[in-house]
Amino acid sequence: MKEITYQELQSMLKPSYQLVDIRDHTAVNYGIIPGAIHIPMEELTERKGELDPSKKIILYCAHGFASMKACELLAAEEIQADYLKGGYSGWMVEKLDAEKDEEDEASLKQRIKDIEHSIQKTFKKRTFSQFAKAINRYDMLQPGDKVAVCISGGKDSMLLAKLFQELKRHNKFDFELEFIVMDPGYSTANRKVIENNARIMGIPIRIFESDIFNVVYDIEQSPCYLCARMRRGYLYNKAKELGCNKIALGHHYDDVIETILMGMLYGGQVQTMMPKLHSTNFEGMELIRPMYLIREADVKAWRDYNDLHFIQCACRFTENTVTSETTGESTSKRQEIKQLIAELKKINPFIEGNIFKSVENVNLNTIITYKKNGIRHDFLEWYDEMEGEKD
């Protein structure tokens, strides 16, 4: 077993090696190195028959930690494998650096133009049209608004930024944009990926720092929940400081239907991710989700079409911990729901649309109890006024 650098990988003849992505399904959704096959860490030994012993086998994970352990597991099966230094994250940084070295002003402008053209033409119906439809349907934008487009560095928020730029180009009415990136303690590599992607996509980001990762790192119970709440608060605060009255987040259609099922199956409640919300802690501020009707598959297709690569959640838990990559025990509830929906879709191709419609077609006459503004209401309150069951 030895460590392989990206430069060494490039120098190899592609037919002579087999590149294997051992990250989980959630991580692979954010992107994969072209030409790699995907075998999750926990399935590596049972699927060893898919490995080609006639080629040099090179494994990679998120940051290079788990792939070392994976090589040892294969060695116990008498299969020799090496691992990619820095993993997927390191590959992204080196790829972007290599492109930047070869780039001049003209080629950068052309790259930005090509990305924008893909939204205007190839993916217009699946992305921009759905974006505009959600804004109109849920009344998300008004003349005079100043919107803070919140960019995490992932595929969804980056596409959100480009869609807003396209909408601004149409100039139907006056509104302003700020593209903000909060750095909660990213590694140098992940911050570099965000900055480089913003540059090649023509997004004028404004970065500000916080110490959220340091604060939540030693929290044992629900660190991810606390991190998300703190990040939202920092974003609201920065947006208000910049004179914005709205923040825009990149949640999409799949996030919405997954939230509905998660609430039912794990929370025992019927709820969804709302298209817009008033802030309870920041007076006059509103949260909007303009990608509410865009499918995740279309975001991925747009990303791959433009050969773009983005970061996943880049906190210390995912960067410094090998546990989730080596045991497979930390599969998120959201990933479980994704897999459940995929299985249900095999039986009923309309399942996703039906889940979405279920929170649009709520019949209060058939609800036992519900809450509104924190007040609980019971069907017995209006039972005597209800019509009886028809024979």
Q: What's phi and psi for 91, nearest 5 deg? A: -60, -45
Burial-class residue 244 by CB neighbours within 10 Å (0-12, 13-18, 19+): buried
Rounded to whole angstroms, the Cα distance separating 188 from 339 reads 33
Tokens standing for residue 13:
């003849």
Q: Are strands 369-372 and 375-378 parallel, antiparallel or unpaired?
A: antiparallel
Radius of gyration for the chain, computed over Cα atoms and rounded to the nearest angstrom: 23
Rounded to whole angstroms, the Cα distance separating 157 from 159 reads 5
Contact predicate 116/203, CB 8 Å: no
Sheet containing 286-288: which strands, arranged edge to edge?
Answer: 205-209, 176-183, 146-150, 246-248, 286-288, 276-278
Tokens standing for residue 41:
């860490």
Rounded to whole angstroms, the Cα distance separating 359 from 361 reads 6
Contact predicate 4/84, CB 8 Å: yes
Contact predicate 66/322, CB 8 Å: yes
Burial-class residue 169 by CB neighbours within 10 Å (0-12, 13-18, 19+): exposed
Reduce the secondary structure of 310-347 to three states and give it as a string. Answer: CCCCCCHHHHHCCHHHHHCCCCCHHHHHHHHHHHHHHH
Residues in the chain: 391
> Is pTM, for the whole model, over 0.85?
no
**303: amino acid identity, one letter:** R
Q: What is the pLDDT of residue 321?
A: 41
Q: What's phi and psi for 79, nearest 5 deg? A: -120, 120
Q: Would you write out the chain's pLDDT as a tens digit for each of its 391 residues?
A: 777 776 676 666 567 899 999 998 878 877 889 889 999 999 998 998 999 989 999 999 988 889 999 999 999 999 999 999 889 888 888 888 887 777 888 999 999 999 999 999 999 999 999 999 999 999 999 999 999 999 988 999 999 999 999 999 987 889 999 999 998 877 787 888 899 999 999 999 999 987 776 666 666 665 566 677 778 888 999 999 999 999 999 999 999 999 999 999 999 999 999 999 999 999 999 999 999 999 999 999 999 999 998 876 555 444 444 333 333 333 478 888 999 999 999 999 999 999 999 999 998 888 999 998 889 999 999 888 877 655 5
**331: amino acid identity, one letter:** T
Rounded to whole angstroms, the Cα distance separating 391 from 386 reads 15
Q: Are strands 246-248 and 146-150 parallel, antiparallel or unpaired?
A: parallel
Q: What is the pLDDT of residue 138?
A: 97
